[in-house]
Amino acid sequence: MKKQLAAFLIIPLVFALFAGCNGASGGTVTPSPTEMPSAVEMPSFTETSSPTETSVSSESEAVLQSADILVVFFSHSGNTRTLAQYVHDIVGGDMFEIVAVEPYPENMNECVARATAELADNARPSLASSVEDMGKYAAVYIGYPIWCGNEPMVIRSFLEAYDFTGKTIYPFCTSGSSTNDLAVKSIRSICPAANVADGLTVTRTQLPKTQEMAAAWLDGLKSP
């Protein structure tokens, strides 16, 4: 009885949380209880380099060396960090965490409010650090949570900070239930001179399969 009462109270609350996102431009949001982020404990890092050489095969049989690969991610509650770590385990290369100068609130309501305002304002939040030599990377794997149906605006700040001409961008995301479609479209429009591969989405119910999904996505990637 207590459980039923709790569900009764919590479900409308979650719907109300993402209602703000619905009003923002550029994204269709399907609010559901599965959209609540969950914390995943992972070690924190900003930039690391993998000494092992790995290769990524594309349709054109091009082989990338580890030195050509950058795995970038932004994560608020840890899910995308976990996914990025699995991607990095497979493709190798360097790793870089996108961090906003002004940290996003841990409180869910406050974070949704800020994300909603940033999307509505088409904001470009300042980034706390930068990639040392983006020029040396041929492939950039970029991961983010879906916020308000889109990629968080810090991802746009990041994409606009570098020249991606001729590079291949591989977008991956985690979400409550939304797809990566709007984010991938946005990345293609911000980086028109890059090849942007079809993205991966891992939704909340799929989180236990994050590792397998990362491996299957990387396995199935074709040159865009």
**What residue ranges bind ligand FMN (CB under 6 A)?**
18, 21, 29, 35, 37, 75-81, 111-112, 115, 145-149, 174-178
Q: What are phi and psi of 189, to 5 degrees?
A: -80, -30
The beta strands (E) that lie in the chain are given as 47-49, 69-73, 94-97, 139-145, 168-175, 195-196, 200-203
3-state secondary structure at position 182 = helix
When the beta carbons of 91 and 183 are compared against ligand FMN, the nearer one is 183
Planar angle of CA 158, 222, 212, nearest 5 degrees: 80
CB neighbour list of residue 21: distance below 8 Å, 6 or more residues apart: 27, 29, 31, 112, 115, 116, 119, 147, 148, 149
The Cα 27–Cα 199 span in angstroms is 17
When the beta carbons of 76 and 167 are compared against ligand FMN, the nearer one is 76
When the beta carbons of 168 and 174 are compared against ligand FMN, the nearer one is 174
When the beta carbons of 23 and 63 are compared against ligand FMN, the nearer one is 23
3-state secondary structure at position 31 = coil
When the beta carbons of 33 and 224 are compared against ligand FMN, the nearer one is 33
Widest distance between CA atoms in the chain: 60
The Cα 88–Cα 68 span in angstroms is 13
When the beta carbons of 128 and 138 are compared against ligand FMN, the nearer one is 128
Tell the smallest beta-carbon distance from residue 42 to ligand FMN (Å): 10
Tell the smallest beta-carbon distance from residue 200 to ligand FMN (Å): 13
